[in-house]
Structure 1
């Protein structure tokens, strides 16, 4: 078979001022065993270190790399959208610039797509690594979804994610998905751009379009390091607002049609909001208080409407 016989997969790498980690991520994309891949890089850096690295060591050798240096910093959200627009592949895999791919990741996931047209996305177990690339113990963020490779209903997985307010799919690096199924922009749901739960917004959208296969072996590596801001005061607030919106609009996508399941999801996000009130405590500002209060009111209205329906 020739390379063009295989559907094209686009690996999209948004990067910002991390040339060392970025090079490791790019090398893991280039090491893929799947034969038909384009790699599109969106460089949002404020210096030229990544540009020099790419132009000197990669572009003269690899013809499947497309390098975009943004003239002004777009920010992570807009940078990711630009890459998606530029992608020519039928399948998309984001690669965060500090993460890594297993060499067989795309090949093993594409094998599943090519034999099952009902799939909208394929994900896998992922390992956690530290700044040096050493494995670190599993935590709540990478709990194994299944002990063996398993096909699951997109609706069932989506409902579980919503009821537990938990991202079972993984970070943007983890899954491979069909481009044609993501009708709304990545990180957007029901017309709203998400600020924290960006990936969950798109996973819910994709799960509404088809099924999921979970591969039980680790095919990507999520790096935890000091340069990240995994949880800041503003991110906590934005995450609460995202979850509140996610739960309340997911019914438009076919999820949480069972009233008991919808009630469970609403109660779960309400607990998250109450935790946020306790978390802020002395750091509470009028702006944070008003935005959290709006989330409480939104959830309580939905719970009251639901209660009226159950009577």
Structure 2
């Protein structure tokens, strides 16, 4: 197949590109060349999807069997890309997010769950991440071919640029007393970026309009097992100190970000780990053990010098962690 990947050099896009090349597809990537390095073997087209002239230059004289849009975040911009690519590809695969579902994370959800109200031409100021992703999904209605929408859940794995699992690996590798938030028996649900990429390519090759919630296998790890795997692969002497949810919230610790992927109990997060991937699993989604994801992410992270490790919006300040540990003691 001839595949255009919008993005293609960072985390999810990189994994999809790598899998497409492994399968022998002809791959074109379209990005600004600022966030990552294109993999050898692709036709790299430099450009900004927000610039009409760049989109015109991309499509001029080119056709693909499929487009995979990894980077769409603003409905109006996705809408323009869709319209420019009409007639140049048979399938348009859009990587959305579970966050587009209006019931998430308060309630369990599946492929039929409602998404937020958001216009397909909305701008960046018209909503938050999840709302805008819902608008991007509606922008797909303008595609004159097979529109395939993928809604991933929590994605982990090598080359993660968000900094969730990498932050925990980095912190635990340094050892000592490590503040572990909440309940170690709290079940989680994660998907390896490589398993997501495999499923995306499988369904793109099928070339059928559809929608899939792709969030892995429910309960495929617990928070305690996840952190224990981090300690095992790093060879750390870390001592986990499990601290109560309420104690952390009273000290203004931000769920999900200061301790990556920590969600306290309560109605606000009641459905966060209860998404159903039954349809995707029935369609061929396979998920490797979470231990393998942790191991391979650490193998990659060890190649990144500590001074160059970027965790973006994730991770608690060391002084704040130490202060809370002292108060808890």
Work out whether the TM-score is over 0.5: no
TM-score (norm 1): 0.27
TM-score (norm 2): 0.26
